[in-house]
Chains A and B, each alone.
Chain A
Amino acid sequence: MHGPDIQWYVVLSALLFATGALGVMLRRNPLIILLSVEIMLNSANLLLIAMSRLHGGEDGQIFAISVMAVAAAEVVVGLGLIVAMGRRNVELDVDKLRTLRG
């Protein structure tokens, strides 16, 4: 295998995951939180594909494609919720959605 070994990909994936997690924890705009969740899902995908390459089997790539499909579904529902919030003129701020708080 030319180029970097698998541990480089693992470290890159960890960096990406930490970046996405920071985005989810620090931002309050639901759109940017969704985008950060996409970064976290993609870091998991990178790890799956790197491990698939390490072990020489295609199963990891199959998982990565399934993750992509689930991510598309998650985006549809999340954006549907955000559009519903926008139509009801709720401010786009996850800290201010406290109707369900007990």
Chain B
Amino acid sequence: MANFLVWVVWFVAAFACLASALAVVSFSNPFYSALALIGNLASLAVLYLLLSGEFVAAGQVLVYGGAVMVMFLFVIAYLGDRQGESPWSGGPSWQVVGAILAGGAILAEVCVVVGLKAGGLLSKPQHVGRSFGSPEALGRAFLTDHLLAFEVTSIVLLVAAVGGVVLGSHARQESDARA
């Protein structure tokens, strides 16, 4: 019974995930695209929970669904309604055909590799304890085995913050000079 319920939850989350991803790509208004991406991130968080990644699921909802998407929506609202673009951009039709072929090729490659080479290997997950994916276990791994990645991440975030400030202030000087 529990197994059946997990399958149901998986299918609902996977369907919501794919449908909202397609919605992000196909809406012509970026505001709706950003809202659809929030649904995509939330359903991915459900899938992370099924994979016993509790802390990553919480971080996904907080960092992506909260901080990043608020920033996106703010910028879209700031730029206003200046995007008069058709949903599937113009350009020569061979571009569209080529893009769809390339996307299909990525998909076909992965499915063939999974089906032919790795099918048996992927069906026997290790048994994991209750603490797998907990904040304690992840924090321990972060501050022992992956300390360098932790520190590099902090530098990346600092550089990005400085870059954002520089980009913003540069644009302000230009508009001041023009006015």
Chain A residues within 8 Å of B, Cβ to Cβ? 1-23, 25-29, 31-32, 34-36, 38-39, 42, 45-46, 49-50, 52-56, 58-59, 61-66, 68-77, 79-84, 86-88, 91-93, 95
Contacts and interface: CB of A to CB of B under 8 A. Distances in A.
Contact of B126 (A54, A69, A73, A88): A54
Q: How large is the interface on B (under 10, 10 to 19, 20 to 34, 35 or more residues)?
A: 35 or more
B168 A80 contact: yes
A84 B171 contact: yes
Interface of B: 2-3, 6-7, 9-10, 14, 17-18, 21-22, 24-25, 27, 30, 33-34, 37, 40-41, 44, 47-48, 50-53, 55-56, 59-60, 63-64, 67-68, 71-72, 75-76, 78-79, 82-83, 85, 88-91, 95-96, 98-100, 102-104, 106-107, 110-111, 114, 118-119, 122-123, 125-128, 132-133, 137-138, 141-142, 145-146, 149, 153, 156-157, 159-161, 163-164, 167-168, 170-172, 174-175
